Amino acid sequence: MDHFLSEDQQAIVDLAKQISREMVIPKRVHYDETEEYPLDIVETLAKSDFFALFVPEEYGGLGGGCYDIVLALEQIGYGCVGIATAYAASALGAYPIIIGGSEELKQKYLPKVATGELRAAFGLTESNAGSDAGGIQTTAVLDGDEWVLNGTKQWITNGGQAHIYTIIAITDPHKGARGASMFIVEADDPGFSCGPKEKKMGIRCSATTELIMKDCRIPKDRLVGRRGTGFITVMKTLDKSRPGIASLGVGLAQAALDEAASYAKVRHQFGKPIIAFQAVQHMLADMAIETESARTLLYAAARHIDAHPKDMSKVSAMCKVKATDVAMKVAIDAVQVLAGYGFMREYPVEKMMRDAKILQIYEGTNQIQRNVIGQELNKEYTK
């Protein structure tokens, strides 16, 4: 379907597609099997300005809108959701600074994020605080000119690979929702370390680790925004990043559909290509309908967000749920179309099925997204 992209957007799509085709796809099996961090690809993306894309122009970036970023991520996700996650995690880690950072913090970090010299990570989740972010136990106490952080973050993407970590910690335990604040921790700050890389079902090459803070001392001015605004920054960060997860879903669904449809044309059973069987055709048709619906909602949501940046929670959650549920379903159906071959690691669809699952979980499970949408509806209908 023609989405009438601008010339500049089409150029971004073509470049992301070229890198995906020439570098990501040829290497994805290697990175899936070795579980190594795809540094060469992340560096290539940086050199081609894909890190600059999400950084504002004032800080050396290209100031790309949500739509531009979504288009780029879709193409990289088409190649490999693990590699795309390794890239996108830097955007997630940098958003708190872009959203709430002081001018000094922005000047200090963002130009280097834009060139890829600094990779970022976002630390919210803890062992007792998953969907319920309010359950975090990491603390930050002001001691003279320094904050002292204590606690452990869990399952943090880019752990051990990032140079800067935006971390939320409790600063005023009795203040509830206003009791947490956002900080920037640098990888070599004293008292900071990362745990070993987790062994995962999918997106294996992206690094997922604990972040351990033991009397981790950071300068006072690494507080992002005002004290007590941590949860607000988290919510705004996730609202901003979720369309990115949706784009990985659309990219993955398209890739699974492409694999399934081209296989169905060449696989012969009962003297015919299996695409001649209506049961297979209908599966492919449903995969195509769902993939394009997800894409169309995503693009519409991205345009809405670019035009109305203060009103993004609902559309952002909607496109995330739709696209990632579609990705999961289409990946499962792609394996079904390839059947035994689909189950073999020799074909790419089994990896797509493993990779798709995370999209329904991270950056807020799809149940939590539905809660967000439901709460927004509740507000809208009481007006």
Ligand X SMILES: Cc1cc2nc3c(=O)[nH]c(=O)nc-3n(C[C@H](O)[C@H](O)[C@H](O)COP(=O)(O)OP(=O)(O)OC[C@H]3O[C@@H](n4cnc5c(N)ncnc54)[C@H](O)[C@@H]3O)c2cc1C
Write out the catalytic residue numbers. 363
Does position 359 interact with another protein (CB under 8 A)? The reply is no
**Which residue type sits at 132?**
D
Residue 152, token pair as written in the block: 């452990």
Using CB under 8 A, which of 27, 37, 42, 52 touches another protein?
A: 52
The answer to the question of residue 235 lying near another protein (CB under 8 A) is no
Residue 155 partner contact from ligand X, another protein, none using kind-dependent CB cut-offs of 5 to 8 Å:
ligand X
CA atoms within 13 A on the CB side of 249: 36
Is 364 a binder of ligand X (CB under 6 A)? yes
Q: What is the CA radius of gyration of the chain?
A: 21
Output the CA angle 378-382-383, nearest 5 degrees. 125
Q: By CB under 6 A, name the one of 20, 161, 171, 208 that touches ligand X.
A: 208
Cα 43 to chain centroid distance, Å, stands at 18
**8 A C-beta contact, residue 70 and residue 53:** no
- How many Cα atoms are found within 13 Å in the side-chain-facing hemisphere of 382? 6
Interacting stretch for ligand X, rule CB under 6 A, among 151-159, 178-186, 299-307, 308-316?
Answer: 151-159
Q: Please, which residue, 122 or 263, has the CB nearer to ligand X?
A: 122
| Distant-in-sequence, close-in-space partners of 160: CB < 8 Å, separation ≥ 6 | 194, 197, 207, 209
Q: How far is the CB of 373 from ligand X (least distance, A)?
A: 12
Cα 220 from Cα 202, distance rounded (Å): 38
- Print the binding letters for residues 307-346 with ligand X: x by CB under 6 A, - otherwise: ----------------------------------------
Task: Write the single-letter amino acid at 163.
Answer: H
124 binds ligand X (CB under 6 A): yes
**Shortest Å distance, C-beta 59 to another protein:** 15
Residue 6 CB, nearest distance to ligand X (Å)?
A: 31
Piece of the chain touching ligand X by CB under 6 A; list 149-157, 287-295, 318-326, 373-381: 149-157
Q: Which is nearer to another protein, 47 or 268 (CB)?
A: 47
DSSP-H helix ranges across 308-383: 313-343, 349-359, 366-382
Q: Which of 32, 49, 74, 239 contacts another protein by CB under 8 A?
A: 49
State the nearest-atom distance from the C-beta of 12 to another protein, in Å. Answer: 6
Cα–Cα distances in Å, from 216 out to 84, 158, 312, 330?
A: 30, 19, 35, 44
Residue 131 touches which of ligand X, another protein, none (Cβ within 5-8 Å per kind): ligand X
Q: Which of 16, 80, 105, 156 binds ligand X (CB under 6 A)?
A: 156
**Min. distance of Cβ 257 from ligand X in angstroms?**
24
* Beta-strand relationship, 180-186 and 223-224: antiparallel
- Quick check: 100 and 229 in contact, CB under 8 A? yes
Name the binder of 193 from another protein, ligand X, none, CB < 5-8 A by kind.
none
Between residue 49 and residue 108, which ones bind ligand X under the rule CB under 6 A?
Answer: 89
> How many angstroms separate the CA atoms of 158 and 113, rounded?
14
One residue of 207, 358, 359, 372 binding ligand X per CB under 6 A: 358
At 304 the three-state DSSP class reads: helix
- Is 128 a residue that touches ligand X (CB under 6 A)? no
Rounded to the nearest 5 degrees, what angle is found at the Cα of 223, between the Cα atoms of 217 and 224? 145
Q: Min. distance of Cβ 39 from ligand X in angstroms?
A: 18
d(CA 336, CA 344): 12
Q: Given candidates 20, 90, 125, 316, which one binds ligand X under the rule CB under 6 A?
A: 125
SS3 270: coil
Q: Tell me which residues in 16-45 interact with another protein (CB under 8 A).
A: 18-19, 22-23, 44
CA 69 → CA 75, 245, 261, distances in Å?
10, 11, 28
Residues that bind ligand X (CB under 6 A): 89, 122-125, 130-131, 155-157, 200, 208, 358, 361-365, 367-368, 371
Residues that bind another protein (CB under 8 A): 7-8, 11-12, 15, 18-19, 22-23, 44, 47-50, 52-53, 62
